[in-house]
Amino acid sequence: MFSLKNKVALVTGSTHGLGMAMAIGLGEAGATIVVNGNSSQEKVNQALDIYKSRGIKAYGYKFDVTNEIEVQDAIEKMESEIAPIDILVNNAGIIKRTPLEDMEVEDFKEVINVDLVSPFIVSKHVVKGMMERKQGKIINICSMMSELGRNTVGAYAAAKGGLKMLTRNMATEWAKHNIQVNGIGPGYFATSQTAPIRIDGHPFNEFIVNRTPAAKWGDPSDLAGAAIFLASKASDFVNGHILYVDGGILATIGKPTNEK
């Protein structure tokens, strides 16, 4: 039920971090992984070496998920060179931490463009093949900020809140084609994106450990199981669901700092 044997999974932003961790999980469940990054072909090739060192069949494509021409060309290329895309994980994303009143409009738009518009762009070009084949899995990587606000991440919260509703609308429109669209909402994970707010002694580091019932930051490998579930037959009747992998943050109002 959880096997992804003979499936092809495209994971955007999978040269490092949470994208790589989820893609490794999908690969270890049997999927062929299509790795994407936009920084450099070298980075994509370095990532391919990591996947292959773990016995995962992987191919790499450098393209900008916000550029519809590049996306369309890349998807046509990979589907002719490899095989149709069975599983799409829209993971690529950025964050800019600035108080809203100080944020440049261009910076706000860039966050919305990468974190909300690009999942629409990539999904639009992958879903047509899924509709023809009458099957497919799309997983949008949401966030705690799909549900909660936090100082300085207003653009990111707006994008991830929108991505939650885009996920539900994709599910609404495509479920009849046997395409399941769901989301994963990571809690706070130890990645390069959170490194600046995770350093020892940083007030946010202590805050998150205290705010999380599991009392720790997540390890990227903790997301693999949720990705495998939503990519596999096990979730064939799950539509429009955001699966939070957050150590319990959303289950609680938290506790006083002096309470154990």
Nearer to ligand GCO, 58 or 145 (CB): 145
- The number of beta carbons lying within 10 Å of the beta carbon of residue 217 is 18
Tell me which of 94, 131, 197, 209 binds ligand GCO, using CB under 6 A. Answer: 197
Pick the closer one to ligand GCO by CB: 143 or 232: 143
Closest to ligand GCO by CB, 34 vs 145, is 145
DSSP state of 49: H
C-alpha 255/C-alpha 260 separation (Å) is 8
Burial bucket for residue 238 (CB in 10 Å: 0-12, 13-18, 19+): middle
| CA within 13 Å, CB half, 11 | 32
Q: Nearest distance from residue 173's CB to ligand GCO, in Å?
A: 26
CA distance 46 to 30: 21
Only segment of 104-112, 121-129, 145-153, 166-174 that touches ligand GCO (CB under 6 A): 145-153
Give the whole-angstrom CA distance, residue 36 versus residue 65. Answer: 9
Q: List all residues 6 or more positions away from 76 whose beta carbon is below 8 Å from its beta carbon.
A: none
Binding of residue 210 to ligand GCO (CB under 6 A)? no
When the beta carbons of 84 and 213 are compared against ligand GCO, the nearer one is: 213
- Nearest-angstrom CA–CA distance, 42 and 32: 20
* Contacts to ligand GCO from residues 62-121, by CB under 6 A: 95, 97
Distance CA 132, CA 120 (A): 19
- In whole angstroms, how large is the CA radius of gyration of the chain? 18
Question: Should residue 186 be labelled a site residue for ligand GCO when binding is judged by CB under 6 A?
Answer: yes
139/144 with CB nearer ligand GCO: 144
Only segment of 28-36, 131-139, 172-180, 181-189 that touches ligand GCO (CB under 6 A) = 181-189
**Which of 14, 15, 143, 235 lies at the binding interface for ligand GCO (CB under 6 A)?**
143
Position 153 contacts ligand GCO (CB under 6 A): yes
Pick the binder of ligand GCO from 35, 87, 114, 145 (CB under 6 A): 145
What number of other Cβ atoms are within 10 A of residue 202's Cβ?
13
Residue 188 lies near ligand GCO (rule: CB under 6 A): yes
Tokens of 92: 């690529």
Catalytic residues, by residue number, are: 156
Shortest Å, Cβ 150 to ligand GCO: 5
**Shortest distance in whole angstroms from residue 197 CB to ligand GCO:** 6
Whole-angstrom distance, CA of residue 18 vs CA of residue 203: 23
Interface residues with ligand GCO (CB under 6 A) are 95, 97, 143-145, 150, 153, 156, 186-188, 193-194, 197
